[in-house]
Amino acid sequence: MTSSEPTVEVIVGRIGRAHGIRGELTVEPRTDEPDRRFLDGMVLREEAGTRAFTVEGVRWHSGRLLVRFEEVPDRTAAEALRGVVLVAQVPEDESPVGEDEFWDRDLVGLTVLTAAGQVGGEVRRVQHGPQDLLVIRTPEGEERLVPFVEALVPAVDLDARTLTLADVGGLLSDEDDE
């Protein structure tokens, strides 16, 4: 990436517990592409601060991502970073590797359409957890959570700036939609 390329900041992980005595730590990935975001030599920053961390080593151990940063020499330094959210600068026009994958920034602001083609709201944000959820603000001003799975969100059209929900009652209101 050249310095003249426009970039955006994306959250890539949250630091967990220290692992061992040499400064290695667990990282909870907040990206579908941890192997792309945690590469040797990559510089990540603290979301709410000015500290930068250079990836020195990465490995998977028992299903956990373990990362070593040049700036973290020992367990004491690693323990002090618990809870830090890591961000990366990525090219603004970069696309996800998978065909049916989307960046949060691409989904936020999309107009939500019902299966019948009526406007049902707008995507306000994506909430990550065991299941990714779309936070949708309805025209009535309510916020609704919709699991971001193909069965409930069968169509995303970034060119048209729309996202279409399946014909499933209760997604945008507490009552079954008719």
Q: Tell me: the pLDDT tens digits for 46-72? A: 998 889 999 999 999 998 999 999 999
Domain boundary among 91, 119, 148: 91
Overall domain count for the chain: 2
Statement to judge: residues 85 and 131 lie in one domain: no
What percentage of the chain carries pLDDT values higher than 90?
A: 66
Rounded Cα distance between 40 and 24, Å, is 14
Looking from the CA of 123 toward its CB, the CA atoms found within 13 Å total: 29
Domain boundary among 66, 91, 116: 91
Placement of tokens 């400064």 in the chain? 23
pLDDT one-digit tens code per residue, 4-48:
678 888 889 999 999 999 999 999 998 878 888 999 999 999 998
CATH number at residue 145: 2.30.30.240
Q: Which domain holds residue 157?
A: 104-164
Query: 37, 48 in Cβ contact below 8 A?
Result: no
- How does residue 175 score in pLDDT terms, banded at 50, 70 and 90? low
What is the separation, in whole angstroms, between the first and last Cα of the chain? 50
pLDDT one-digit tens code per residue, 127-146:
877 788 999 999 999 999 99
CATH number at residue 62: 2.40.30.60
By three-state DSSP, how is residue 176 classified?
coil
Statement to judge: residues 83 and 12 lie in one domain: yes
In degrees, rounded to 5, the angle at the alpha carbon of residue 29 between the alpha carbons of residues 94 and 7 is 25
Report the chain's mean pLDDT, rounded to a whole number: 90
